[in-house]
Amino acid sequence: MQKRPSLTDRWRAVCGESRMHGSEGGVRKRTERHRALRLPYDMEVGRYSPLTYARDVQVSSQEPQVMYACLSPAARSRDGSLYRSQDLGKTWQRFDHGVKAHSTMMSVGLHPSDPNQVYCTTRGGQVFGTQDGGTTWNEYPLPSHVQDVYVVACA
């Protein structure tokens, strides 16, 4: 029987010298040589979401056990959502309540000093945000001609 990695081991897997990236089938760690490797702890996000294509994963700088993942059915899709794990990937819950993404969820931006501020964007140019830890969400429309949005930042 394989021993389950400790929280510290999983934290190092996420925040070590490698960076996280999403792919079809889940969350993977990417090395400097850009080889995709499975994390030592399988996050199994598919147990909690019908959407398993991950485009972005972020770890909170204030709460290191909290992670956010942008999930969609595929790289180009008409659906997407933002999920949060409060236990470093053991369990996941949908976080973006009350919003509807019309394309692939691409990026999540976390405020560097306020954990209540979280923003995410879709490939089609929708930007959603909460300033109260997910209780309420707002959509911030970009100009109608904006497409292929890949990143959002929060400061």
Joined together, the tokens standing for residue 89 give: 């990937």
pLDDT at 95: 96
pLDDT at 107: 95
pLDDT at 140: 92
pLDDT at 78: 93
C-alpha 93/C-alpha 68 separation (Å) is 10
Instruction: Name the phi and psi angles at 111, rounded to 5.
Output: -65, 135
- Provide the residue-wise pLDDT of the chain in tens; the chain has 155 residues: 555 444 444 444 444 433 344 444 455 444 443 344 334 456 778 888 888 888 999 999 999 899 999 999 988 999 999 999 999 888 999 999 999 999 999 999 999 999 999 999 999 999 999 999 999 999 998 888 888 888 998 88
pLDDT at 39: 42
